[in-house]
Structure 1
């Protein structure tokens, strides 16, 4: 009996050692992510994760936004298996999840507290009841402005300005001889760059990508008015070479004190109030994104999230990492290391239940209010057959909006007139939608 007990104990110990060895077996996770400030902080803090997971090594591939999207899309569609963790957004997660290109993230541990995630953020990453990515940060678009410059000129920024008011302010604040530009906006071509912003401007002018019959609506008065306004505004009151400027470039300009106003992602607030990263920390005001004839779809909703491709052979290790990087303790650690205002925003309700965060982060309330107000299911003034504010939730949108964004960026540099460019875009998108089977002329609903 004693011998049997000893043998059982030895067997149990051996099994335990095997399990422990498996848990700590060497694994290298390749993580593809974008070069935004919050992801750079994640990479910097990841050494702490490796210390507590000695068998796991993290290989970072940090890329500019357009390049990242190209690499990840190619890899996921071809099942290339280059990545174990992908940084993707509210566009890719549901489409790729529906294709079963991503691993579902079901039965998450209780201490992850999935109910703490913003409901409308979690919804963007869910298909048929399955979560396919976990949110790293979420953003609306808001307006950043220089309070000191407004005060010096006796100007008052409304709680939600119109785009025409933004233009009027820009005419009074633009002073390039002293290195100050009236307004900075995305001009770099890309469906997630210039078209993210321009999509909300078109929405605010009453436009839409498609009518309920999937007929493209690009060559229509709202698009013409919105695009002409955008190009005129940037050409007269923006920085030189605006077609080279995306989110990161404009963030750098504003943080350096070169922009009087900027309409972009609310996540930039954490950088702009950080004295280590910004020269205008105490001079920045925050308000809602501009509207025009409507506020429907005038502010976007975007979620940068972490997902696991189906091609990975290291699912458990990848799952453990993404849960760490999106957990409440991780958010708290970012606040401790970089300041509470740098906490990744927009994902957890508990962040906005924190009086310390709300009192310290001056952009928190406008971000919270904007995220509550956005409605991707009803993104435009007129009815549409799709979900998504600055995007359209169909696989073809990436190619369509990339083409449109490139042609509009060309018009911004003087290559083509807006009327001609939008007519060309309309014809190209019609061909794409017809080939894909969405739209036939005799079936499409007219405006």
Structure 2
């Protein structure tokens, strides 16, 4: 097997191409709290601030949960005396800024938020510090307080390096699932199974597609891009038994399984999707569903909180089901989200680790609930959140979300063995460029600009060239 990460230069070259995958939480509404904030960490004694004078700088994407983190960090300062400063930018901008600093050991940032496709790369390149030794060094009291085993186990491989271990801790995690209008299904006499197939989704969407009354059957990303159409289509291709590369790293874009996946995606989008489907990405499809103009929506699990917000026009009208299966019986659940890592250049790693454990603790979940309501607590990170009656009372999507995350396999994304990890998006740097180009070809195919054979042949050539240039193929 070839190494995933070829060089720092390659990584820096592709970073500008990384598109936003998980931005749904940024639209969540804050609601009144319901529970008292958590207790002080056992690392600090009441009335004492032994760390007064220490300052930490966190570089973070400006998604909603991270904005909340920055706002609530004053509580951490009250407990510890450690001041936490935030540098917050959009996803592409913060990725570039972080990488430019840590790649040369600049030392500007102590902690950084990283997407799951970057986390292993950073630790492998020595840009971030391994976390397992820090957890191992915790006192018995602190280990009991933090309760590492409460973290959703399926997430851990996505926040680790295959060779160097734990690299980050989830701030929030997400998978994919079906979200549908229960009222429209009932009116049409349809029943959504908890584990639907893609063919069933197509039939439902086609029956409910009603453009004359401003309802699309299916809200599904069609906008070209590595983090747009390729994010959702990546799950469909696995459901059809396809995969990106075989065990020799040869691209598999012209197999019968891949052809079937492309044909189905086009059929679903053209016959039940929005008229301007190739212009619709995450934000556009989310808005279609949130505004009551879509019958079925397939995307990130974090989107559900938007639909259940107090001011949502579809609050209480949405049902939830697992990601659909396909004829290939492939795994269509994904694992994604954002994690917090400590940079190798951080001069106060003990303080940074103290903050990392605080902001990913059960106490922090309770604090967010007290301030902003249970609907806005970090999702997809801790198992205890999904057994908490306060959360389940406002999040009728909780059980399906946990099943989606628990059923995903980051290490084994396809039916057949693969040399890569990462469901939906192969966890290699070269995929950013491949995904951008193939995503455009897929959009051209959907809109009728390319035949299937020509589209797949062109995609195969692009992937083969990228893999040769990366040293995977001779």
Q: Which runs of 5+ in 2 are unaligned?
A: 1-47
Tell me the equivalent position of 1:99: 125
Tell me the equivalent position of 1:60: 87
How far residue 120 of structure 1 moved from its aligned partner, in angstroms, is 2.2
Structure 1 counterpart of 2:334, from 300, 316, 329: 300
Distance 1:414 1:73, change over 3 A: farther
Residues 1:406 and 2:440 are matched in the alignment: yes
Structure 2 counterpart of 1:189, from 224, 232, 236: 224
Distance (whole Å) between structure 2 residues aligned to residue 321 and residue 57 of structure 1: 9
| Greater displacement, 160-169 / 334-343 | 334-343
Tell me the equivalent position of 2:462: 428
Residues 1:258 and 2:293 are matched in the alignment: yes
Distance 1:311 1:239, change over 3 A: farther
Distance (whole Å) between structure 2 residues aligned to residue 216 and residue 151 of structure 1: 44
Residues 1:134 and 2:169 are matched in the alignment: yes
Distance (whole Å) between structure 2 residues aligned to residue 174 and residue 247 of structure 1: 20
Distance (whole Å) between structure 1 residues aligned to residue 174 and residue 453 of structure 2: 32
Residues 1:180 and 2:215 are matched in the alignment: yes
Any conservation in 2 of the 1:271–1:342 contact (CA below 8 Å)? Answer: no
Any conservation in 2 of the 1:137–1:346 contact (CA below 8 Å)? Answer: yes
What RMSD in Å do the two structures reach over aligned CA positions?
2.7
Residues 34-433 of structure 1 aligned to structure 2 (within 5 Å): 34-35=62-63, 37-49=64-76, 56-63=83-90, 65-77=91-103, 79=105, 83-105=109-131, 106-108=133-135, 109=138, 110=143, 111-127=145-161, 128=163, 130-276=165-311, 278-313=312-347, 315-433=349-467
Any conservation in 1 of the 2:123–2:164 contact (CA below 8 Å)? Answer: no
Distance (whole Å) between structure 2 residues aligned to residue 394 and residue 158 of structure 1: 35
Distance (whole Å) between structure 2 residues aligned to residue 259 and residue 101 of structure 1: 43
Distance (whole Å) between structure 2 residues aligned to residue 83 and residue 240 of structure 1: 45
Distance 1:310 1:408, change over 3 A: farther
Distance (whole Å) between structure 2 residues aligned to residue 290 and residue 172 of structure 1: 18
Counterpart secondary structure, 2:453: helix
How far residue 73 of structure 1 moved from its aligned partner, in angstroms, is 4.5
Deviations 1:32-61 (A, max 9, x none): 2153x4334334434544555666252332
Counterpart secondary structure, 1:124: helix
Distance (whole Å) between structure 1 residues aligned to residue 93 and residue 198 of structure 2: 31
Tell me the equivalent position of 1:7: none
Distance (whole Å) between structure 2 residues aligned to residue 44 and residue 190 of structure 1: 32
Instruction: Give the TM-score, by structure 1 length.
Output: 0.84
Between structure 1 and structure 2, the one with the greater Rg is 1
Deviations 1:173-202 (A, max 9, x none): 222333322111123333333222111100
Distance (whole Å) between structure 1 residues aligned to residue 407 and residue 444 of structure 2: 33
Residues 1:29 and 2:63 are matched in the alignment: no
Distance (whole Å) between structure 1 residues aligned to residue 461 and residue 279 of structure 2: 26
How far residue 168 of structure 1 moved from its aligned partner, in angstroms, is 1.4
| Greater displacement, 91-100 / 431-440 | 431-440
Distance 1:248 1:83, change over 3 A: farther
How far residue 217 of structure 1 moved from its aligned partner, in angstroms, is 0.3
Any conservation in 2 of the 1:33–1:87 contact (CA below 8 Å)? Answer: yes
Q: Which runs of 5+ in 1 are unaligned?
A: 1-19, 441-447
How far residue 165 of structure 1 moved from its aligned partner, in angstroms, is 1.6
Distance (whole Å) between structure 2 residues aligned to residue 200 and residue 88 of structure 1: 22
Distance 1:228 1:47, change over 3 A: farther
How far residue 371 of structure 1 moved from its aligned partner, in angstroms, is 1.8
| Greater displacement, 247-256 / 405-414 | 405-414
Distance (whole Å) between structure 2 residues aligned to residue 84 and residue 187 of structure 1: 38
Any conservation in 2 of the 1:33–1:62 contact (CA below 8 Å)? Answer: yes
Tell me the equivalent position of 2:33: none
Tell me the number of residue pairs that the alignment of Structure 1 and Structure 2 aligns. Answer: 418
Any conservation in 2 of the 1:205–1:222 contact (CA below 8 Å)? Answer: yes
Q: Which runs of 4+ in 1 moved over 6 A?
A: none
How far residue 322 of structure 1 moved from its aligned partner, in angstroms, is 2.9
Instruction: Give the TM-score, by structure 2 length.
Output: 0.80
Counterpart secondary structure, 2:218: coil
1 or 2 for the larger relative contact order (CA 8 Å, sep ≥6)?
Answer: 2
| Greater displacement, 281-290 / 420-429 | 420-429
How far residue 153 of structure 1 moved from its aligned partner, in angstroms, is 0.8
Distance 1:264 1:374, change over 3 A: same
How far residue 372 of structure 1 moved from its aligned partner, in angstroms, is 1.9
Distance 1:268 1:132, change over 3 A: same
Deviations 1:261-282 (A, max 9, x none): 1111112222221214x22110
Any conservation in 2 of the 1:50–1:58 contact (CA below 8 Å)? Answer: no
